[in-house]
Amino acid sequence: MGAPMVTVIGRVAALGGRLQSIGRRPLAGRRILVTRARAQASGFVERLRRLGADAVELPVIAVEPVGERRALEDAARRLGAEAASPPAAARHAVFTSANAVRLVWDAIRAVGLDARAFAGVRLVAIGPETAAALMECGLAADLVPAEYIAEAVAEAMIAGGVAGARVWLPRAAAARDVLPARLREAGAEVEVLPIYRTVLPEGAADRLRAELGRGVDAVTFTSSSTVAHFAEALAGAPFPPGAIAACIGPVTARSAREAGYPVAVVATEYTTAGLAAALSAHFLRGETSPAPTTLGTPAPLP
């Protein structure tokens, strides 16, 4: 054997197989920036780390309530009153993010109610992570579309019949209007209640510049809001050289491309598990160019 050579002696030598396993993980040696809000990022970060990545948690969005809290609490009270004396029209509550679920649940509890306030209400979640947030509140989603985007929510609801139904849609202030527009076209009475907005956290721009200075292989985006606030934090600086943009789905990818970012990974399962799987597939192939990777089946964790 020639130089250089490392000799391992003692109990550490017994770890050789385990260390080789770590080296074979699909994201081993990759530094990946996670821009998701801190309250939602931990599971994604842990998954990336178990796949071998050096996952850097740097949220570029934070959630702030908008409007008067009274409006949301009044809506919660109305839910409770209608649960006790249901109206004739079918009722739906549509949640397009876990943030909306948590804020609504806080309002439900603040006015002294519980999960029974949703008695008789058909609960719709845009995807499994939003459905999981509902389940944490003791609520089971009645409908989760096969594709986790607003268009698919509208299509699935319309297929089930919404003419004459009342639809409550608590959501982000800057959300797209495609969902309420399509439901109204189908004859539903839709009440949109903006309950939160996303903002750039204080100090995030400085932290981002510091982390990018250390180099990254990929920047992950889990919503169009993360793209917008990442751009705000960059303040005109270029996307990190040599890095790729990895997006949770086509809507987010479109926003990233419009920002001029090199989108190389788009998950086909629009979840963080699907995004981790698509990242793994991309780097296992040794790709560096922005030719899209769209594999989205979750990779098994080591």
- Domain of 81, CATH number, reads 3.40.50.10090
pLDDT above 70: residue 292: no
- Examine the domain organization and report whether 204 and 143 are in the same domain: no
pLDDT confidence of residue 3:
55
- Examine the domain organization and report whether 53 and 74 are in the same domain: no
pLDDT confidence of residue 42:
78
- Examine the domain organization and report whether 212 and 240 are in the same domain: yes
pLDDT confidence of residue 39:
74
- CB under 8 Å to 182, separation ≥6 — which residues? 151, 154, 155, 158
- Examine the domain organization and report whether 164 and 278 are in the same domain: no
- Examine the domain organization and report whether 77 and 187 are in the same domain: yes
Q: Is residue 301 part of a domain?
A: no
Q: What is the rounded distance in angstroms from the CA atom of residue 213 to the CA atom of residue 300?
A: 32
pLDDT > 70: percent of the chain = 87
Q: Is residue 140 part of a domain?
A: yes
pLDDT above 60: residue 43: yes
* Type of residue at 168: W
Q: Is residue 101 part of a domain?
A: yes
- Examine the domain organization and report whether 148 and 262 are in the same domain: no
Q: Is residue 8 part of a domain?
A: no
8-12, 156-160, 278-282, 298-302 — which is least confidently predicted?
298-302
- Examine the domain organization and report whether 147 and 250 are in the same domain: no
Q: Is residue 262 part of a domain?
A: yes
- Examine the domain organization and report whether 186 and 208 are in the same domain: no
User: How far, in whole angstroms, is CA 101 from its chain's centroid?
Assistant: 13
- Examine the domain organization and report whether 143 and 77 are in the same domain: yes
Q: Is residue 148 part of a domain?
A: yes
pLDDT, mean over the chain: 88
Q: What is the pLDDT of residues 112-159, one digit of tens each?
A: 999 999 999 999 999 999 999 999 999 999 999 999 999 999 999 999
Tokens of 80: 């409770």
pLDDT above 60: residue 200: yes
How does residue 285 score in pLDDT terms, banded at 50, 70 and 90?
confident
The total number of structural domains that make up the chain: 2
Q: Is residue 291 part of a domain?
A: no
123-127, 174-178, 296-300 — which is least confidently predicted?
296-300
Closest C-alpha to 195, from 170, 215, 176: 170
- Three-class DSSP category at 6: coil
Residue with tokens 């003692």: 10
Q: What is the pLDDT of residues 45-92, one digit of tens each?
A: 999 999 999 999 999 999 999 988 899 999 999 999 999 888 888 999
User: Which alpha helices (H) appear in the chain, and where do they start and end?
Assistant: 16-23, 38-50, 69-84, 98-110, 128-136, 150-160, 178-185, 204-213, 224-234, 250-258, 272-284
Tokens of 198: 């996303």
pLDDT confidence of residue 6:
54
Q: What is the rounded distance in angstroms from the CA atom of residue 73 to the CA atom of residue 66?
A: 13
22-36, 85-99, 199-213, 272-286 — which is least confidently predicted?
22-36
pLDDT above 90: residue 16: no
pLDDT above 70: residue 297: no
Domain, as residue range, for 146:
65-197
- Examine the domain organization and report whether 144 and 162 are in the same domain: yes
pLDDT confidence of residue 195:
96
Task: Return phi, psi of residue 288, to 5°.
Answer: -130, -20
pLDDT above 90: residue 22: no
Q: What is the pLDDT of residues 219-243, one digit of tens each?
A: 999 999 999 999 999 999 999 999 9
pLDDT confidence of residue 7:
57
Question: Does residue 300 have a cis bond before it (omega within 30 degrees)?
Answer: no
Cα distance between the two ends of the chain: 32
- Examine the domain organization and report whether 71 and 193 are in the same domain: yes
